[in-house]
Structure 1
Amino acid sequence: MADSPYGPGPSGNHGVPVSLLPEKGRALCHGQIESVTYMPADQTAAFSAMVTDLESERAAPRAASGRRSRLRVVWLGRRRVPGIDAGSEIRLEGMVTQSHGMPTMFNPRYEILSRQENL
């Protein structure tokens, strides 16, 4: 991955928090998976996850931008993506677009940074 205006590639940091993503365009970001959605077998294969800022970033003061710090991530043609589970910390790179009024990345590159342990 080449350096992006939103953070360096693997040799540097993890990109920007979800709340600082642009409305459209290529971006490198990081966050925590809040939830995942599995499509029923009788529907077109797609796997999606909601990504939010990490807990430490949520607690930091923010400018009153009014933007929600959530990103929908969709992998088309897949029913499951290994390692993508609620609680995992993830880094994403892809094109941000608006879909149904929410920032969305389709088929992004991803790296799992940490996983929440099941107790």
Structure 2
Amino acid sequence: MGEKTRLRRTISRWADSTDQDERDLRRTHAEDGCEQIGAAPDRERVRLRGTLRTVTLRPRGGVPALEAELSDGTGSITIVWLGRRRITGISPGRSMSVEGRIGSHDGERILYNPRYELIP
């Protein structure tokens, strides 16, 4: 019985820390003029701010493409820079703001070739 209790406590602590991380992200990236990723409308020009979770090189249609997942605690979106293998400063854990139109591909929300600004 002690193992089950310990496992429950560990899972509970992990869930609480995940919730806290999401709250911290929402608080950190709340800024005037920026929309929340979870509430941003599709096919309209938006300005988003968040932290990069992942950055990967994934070719699309034979063209190199740098993909990144941007999250602000309300949701996440895939950012794609077509024709790029690497962009200096774009790495997991980096905060940035992006501007562009949100599209959809295979049910996934995507922002192609956005204007971006790295946040120190």
- Compute the TM-score of the two structures, normalised by the length of structure 1: 0.67
Q: Distance in 2 between matches of 1:99 and 1:69?
A: 17
Which structure has more RCO (C-alpha within 8 Å, separation ≥ 6)?
1
Q: Which residue of 2 aligns with 1:109?
A: 115
Which structure 1 residue ranges, 5 or more long, are not aligned? 1-11, 59-67, 115-119
Q: Which residue of 1 aligns with 2:57?
A: 38
Shift of 1:102: 1.4
* Sequence identity percentage: 31
The one-letter code of the counterpart of 1:48 is E
Q: Which residue of 1 aligns with 2:43?
A: 24
Q: Which one of 68, 71, 81 corresponds to residue 75 of structure 1?
A: 81
Q: Distance in 1 between matches of 2:41 and 2:97?
A: 16
Shift of 1:16: 1.5
Check conservation: 2:35, 2:48, Cα contact below 8 A. Answer: yes
1:22 is paired with a residue whose SS is coil
1:95-114 Cα deviation digits (max 9, x unpaired): 11111211110000000112
Q: Which residue of 2 aligns with 1:99?
A: 105
Which stretches of structure 1, 4 residues or longer, exceed 2 Å deviation after superposition?
A: none
Q: Which residue of 2 aligns with 1:88?
A: 94
CA-based RMSD of the aligned residues comes to: 1.9
Q: Distance in 1 between matches of 2:71 and 2:94?
A: 11
Shift of 1:75: 0.3
Q: For this pair of structures, how many residues does the alignment match?
A: 88
Q: Distance in 2 between matches of 1:27 and 1:79?
A: 25
1:47 equivalenced with 2:66 (yes/no): yes
Check conservation: 1:14, 1:91, Cα contact below 8 A. Answer: no
